[in-house]
Amino acid sequence: MKVVITGASKGIGKAIANGFAAAGHDIWICSRGEFSLYQTLGELQTLYPNSNIAAQVADLQKKEAVEAFAKWVLTQGVPDVVVNNAGLFIQGTISDEPADNLQKLMEINLYSAYHLTRALLPAMKAQGRGHIFNMCSIASLRAYPHGSSYGITKYALAGFNANLREELKTSGIKVTGVFPGATMSDSWEGSGVQPERIMQADDVANMIIAAAQLSPAAVVEDIIMRPQLGDL
């Protein structure tokens, strides 16, 4: 398979890239951080020399960067799997957060997935198959303290995912929403949370990779995951 993963230089995105590459698939990844992206690229190419792995720096907060990344992807081939993973978390409250928080988070958490999907869909439709994963969140399902604009954007992404699934049912293209709870990432480092209290990035990656292996007749519509001991 040919797999596109956004926000793939660390955390869940990097775990997904590692899992697909380990299984022998070709992957195309992006991130806005040049150093971390190419460091990840080098690690993956060293670990999995038999996989075709390529990367491009892209700030997906900007529509023109999303479209440029999509154009680059399509010069490599038509993707079989697209993982819209790029995202940003900013804690706060609606009444007190900076006025531009909602716009900033919408651009990366929602619009990047919307614009990348639209740019890749014509080729995927012509191919007659594919699978799109949208990285939502437990925050897409219920509000929680200090979720503010982050929660709003994740609710919106879940709406995008549901509508896309309905629209593409008869196209041969699957759509899956991924709703992980607390998962170890940079945002949790230094928090003091015990390892057994939080999920690992590989847990989420393994579920996505498994869902991508199903026959054309089956789709996992939603992947909802929480730490065994409950939400944090």
Which residue has 């993982």 as its token pair?
Answer: 83
Catalytic member of 111, 114, 150, 155 = 150
Q: Which residue has the tokens 């049912």?
A: 169
Phi and psi at 30, nearest 5°, equal -145, 160
Exposure string (b/e) for 48-71, b if CB count within 10 Å is 16 or more?
Answer: beebebebbebbbbbeebbeebbe
Q: Please state, in angstroms and rounded to a whole number, the distance separating the CA atoms of residues 17 and 111.
A: 22
150 part of the active site: yes
Cβ atoms of 223 and 178 closer than 8 Å: yes
Q: What is the DSSP letter of 2?
A: E
- Residues recognised as catalytic: 150
